[in-house]
Structure 1
């Protein structure tokens, strides 16, 4: 394992399991292993220890608990103990060896001084963390690809169904159309009420709501499905009235000037839109990143080599997932391509918001 300057970084990488804590404590000697390392089941996020060997054989001078969402291209340091500069350098080298785009560091115990000395930049604090998220108040990021995408504000959805509204609000705040201070629960629920198909937001209805809320922002909906979508779970009368609402949304789209592109949006076209300063609200399944097949809106707002940078308004506290994971999250193009084919109908839905 080597550093950015090709100086060898001696380290050990081993899987982390809650039952290995006594072994950790033996190897780390007087360094106390944080209780949060084993407070939740992190197994879905490939937890592992990156350690720096000590002077005595078998002992470690430092260790970091490292995790990451599946189908992404980053590593997150949950905590580091012992020789902090040495073990953080080891984690960065480990990420570089794997060809990853980014390393994040949760701010539980990390000091701004240690983070800056290691080449990390402080993240803007979350404006409204998801309820019961249990995340840190601070976090840090270090990009490894040379690209540094502009940082939007992070706002966590406050319900299970307002992801579409939140991604639109964050997109407009990032574009300078909406003041950051306006990102609050009232704005979240107001926009959701305009866009919802009860309770989900389907692509056309969301696009129409964005256009009506910000008439100066051009909006295009990309939806390669002819009929109503996201109704797999509905039958009979419930399916019929929800389908009717989606047909009304298509009529409204024509009236307010929202074109509907029936071709499937490609990753190349998505990158082109982002490079042109546009924002993309993309519907995807959480099966890859979180383990359950639920349609979910994210914001695509930046690009680095081989990955699209997204904002995910939801974090899964049960797996140790926090807003630090969900914010400035790089997802490989191939992974995003796969996870954004949703529903039994296998369609892709996106709302592209252009510059005012």
Structure 2
């Protein structure tokens, strides 16, 4: 987040903090500022106002509330007021100045016509119901190169089914299963087959994916040869959960699922997704959300300087929504840091290849 007021081409950028908020509300008082600008605590996502000064600089003709998850490569317009098209242009210029890959625009108040005029295209709405804390629609503008192929967005319906959801979304994006098959029953069914109670560790998730889609090549990547994701458990619980993990390793051998002990680099992930394959990547949420919880995301695309992921979870209480989590670009180095899962860091992933073509 900028530490001071900045003036990129065509706009003025001011961080939205407790100290700056009174001045900003005063500058914006002639515009119909939505109440959500004031009532949601977005401080974890670097909120700022990007404003368009008038000719003499005494007034703002348009302004946008902008946020982004930390350690990512995009900006999100929550809303724009006044001359919304000019405000969006200023946000895009600000994003370009920062070398970012993308700008999104939540659809709370913007019309499809205004979004299109500013170069934004609509995102497909989530397959899961959208609550009051999230917009029903959203838009995206890529800043470098062509748009990335869009998987369906499905938000996990429990706190622990992220692994199953990422696998299902990957299968739907690849055409292995129809998008209509992504529902709560399929989510919980795949989780039940993959779980180490309640988390999905890499080998168990890989085994479940192979059994669900036998024609899809599956490779597990895990750079340690020990039980994982058990640090929160008591000694007794660790013993039987570790047994399950050893059973999963045996099942992987029986099914012909290789377990690669090498670090899966972001360069390898980039080449994998460029081939149209998918990587289920285990990360820590400490960087993006501020709490150290292991979490599965789907790597499915690449743009200059960033890999594109699907995150099945959003922190709606902080103003984070499906629009943040969907088609989310993360710089390669930042994603590699997230993929070292504490407390005794290890790396885990599952690669889903493309099924062989029928003769």
**Which bracket does the TM-score occupy, shorter chain normalised?**
over 0.9
In the TM superposition, 1:45-64 aligns within 5 A as 45-55=45-55, 57-64=57-64
Q: CA RMSD in A?
A: 1.4
1:10 counterpart = 2:7: no
Q: Name the counterpart of 2:83.
A: 83
Q: CA deviation at 1:346?
A: 1.1
Moved segments of 4+, more than 6 Å = none
Partner of 1:38: 38
Q: Are residues 138 and 19 of structure 1, via their aligned partners in 2, closer, same or farther at CA, if it must alter by over 3 Å?
A: farther
Whether the aligned pair in 2 keeps the contact of 1:309 and 1:330 (CA below 8 Å) is: yes
Shift of 1:343: 2.4
1:191 counterpart SS class: helix
**Match of 2:4?**
none
Task: Show CA shifts across 1:230-275 (max 9, x none).
Answer: 1111232211000000000000001112110011111111111111
**Matched residues in 1 for 2:168 and 2:12: separation?**
43
Q: Is the 8 A contact 1:14 1:48 kept in 2?
A: yes
Q: Determine helix, strand or coil for the equivalent of 2:288.
A: helix
Q: Deviations over 1:49-77 (max 9, x none)?
A: 00011246432111100000000000000
- The answer as to 2:322 corresponding to 1:323 is yes
Report the counterpart of residue 225 of structure 2 in structure 1: 226
Match of 1:250 in 2: 249
Aligned to 2:28: 28
- Alignment of 1:309 with 2:311, yes or no, is no
Provide, for residues 283-314 of structure 1, a one-character-per-residue CA deviation record: whole Å limited to 9, x for no partner.
00000000000000000000001110000000
Matches within 5 A, 1:194-233: 194-233=193-232
Contact 1:267–1:337 under 8 Å retained in 2? yes
2:9–2:94 Cα contact (<8 Å) kept: no
Instruction: Say which SS state the counterpart of residue 192 (structure 2) adopts.
Output: helix
Question: Which is worse superposed, 340-349 or 282-291?
Answer: 340-349
Q: Using a 3 Å threshold, how does the CA distance of structure 1 residues 28 and 343 change in structure 2: closer, same or farther?
A: closer
Q: Quick check: 143-152 or 154-163, which moved more? A: 143-152
**How many correspondences in the alignment?**
348
Q: Distance in 2 between matches of 1:25 and 1:42?
A: 16
Aligned equivalents of 1:236 and 1:96: distance in 2?
51
**Structure 2 runs not aligned, ≥5 long:** 1-7
User: What TM-score results when the alignment is normalised by the length of structure 1?
Assistant: 0.95
Asked if the contact 1:133–1:315 (Cα under 8 Å) also holds between the matched residues in 2, the reply is no
Paired residues of 2:122 and 2:137 also in contact (CA < 8 A): yes
Which residue is 2:114 aligned to? Answer: 114
How far, CA to CA, are the matches of 1:325 and 1:118 in structure 2?
Answer: 19
Name structure 1 gaps, 5 residues minimum. Answer: 1-7
| 1:175-222 C-alpha deviation (Å, 9 max, x unpaired) | 001111111101100000000000000000000000001111110000
